[in-house]
């Protein structure tokens, strides 16, 4: 049975989308929303770092024309 994200985890999605597609538009309210569902400042930093790490790696791979291995659909 696949894991289903709980409401707290789902609250990360709008932040991740905004940080990925329009990082300059992230504002204090976006951070406050994460705090309001119980994320600490340390957790918000970790969320931010993971999002940005994957953005970096994906852009690096795309920019170099890296293709997925054959076993990926």
Structure letter (DSSP) for residue 55: H
Put residue 59 in one of left, alpha, beta given phi > 0 → left and psi -120 to 50 → alpha.
Answer: alpha
pLDDT tens, 34-57?
A: 999 999 999 999 999 999 999 999
Q: What is the mean pLDDT of the chain?
A: 91
Is the Cβ–Cβ distance between 15 and 33 less than 8 Å?
A: yes
Residue 51 CA, chain-centre distance (Å), reads 3
Domains defined along the chain, listed by start: 7-64 (1.20.1290.10)
pTM of the model as a whole: 0.82
Residue 68 has pLDDT above 90, yes or no: no
């Amino acid at each position: 049975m696949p894991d289903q994200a709980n409401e707290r985890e789902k609250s990360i999605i709008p932040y991740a989308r905004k940080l990925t597609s329009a990082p300059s538009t992230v504002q204090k309210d976006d951070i406050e929303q994460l705090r309001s569902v119980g994320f600490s400042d340390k957790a918000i930093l970790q969320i931010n770092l993971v999002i940005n790490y994957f953005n970096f790696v994906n852009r690096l791979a795309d920019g170099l024309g890296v293709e997925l291995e054959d076993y990926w659909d």
